[in-house]
Copies of this chain bind each other. A is one copy, B any other.
Amino acid sequence: MPQFQARVLVSLRPSVLDPAGEAARSAAQRIGVEGVSKLRIGKSVDLAIDAPDEDEARRRLEVLSDRLLANPVIEDWSLDIEPLNHSNES
């Protein structure tokens, strides 16, 4: 079965405060890294998925992102997916 490589980026909705991001921005200045603003911390989830085709892989990963990876009350997500080369598999 074809395999796909995917990355789901989960970010806080713009209206949600990010205290951890604000702490990192403030720490950046403290260690001498100037000019940083609007620092927001999200999640990056890398995975492989076996599926009959890319549409089906995408459909499954939409379910996964909505129900498991992101909290839709406070987070948005985006999905990148691409076929994996299987030339060296049996």
Chain A positions within 8 Å of B, measured between CB atoms, are 1, 9-11, 21, 24-25, 27-28, 31-51, 57, 60-61, 63-64, 67-69
- B9 and A35 within 8 A (CB): no
Could you tell me the distance between the alpha carbons of A37 and B42 in the complex, rounded to whole angstroms?
22
Instruction: Point out the residues of chain B lying under 8 angstroms from A64, CB to CB.
Output: 28, 31, 33, 36
The copy count of this chain in the complex is: 2
| A60 and B14 alpha carbons, distance in the complex (Å) | 25
Cβ 8 A contact of A46, one of B28, B33, B35, B39: B39
Is A42 within 8 A of B40, CB to CB?
no
User: B68 contacts A47, CB within 8 Å?
Assistant: no
Task: For A51, list chain B residues within 8 Å (CB).
Answer: 35
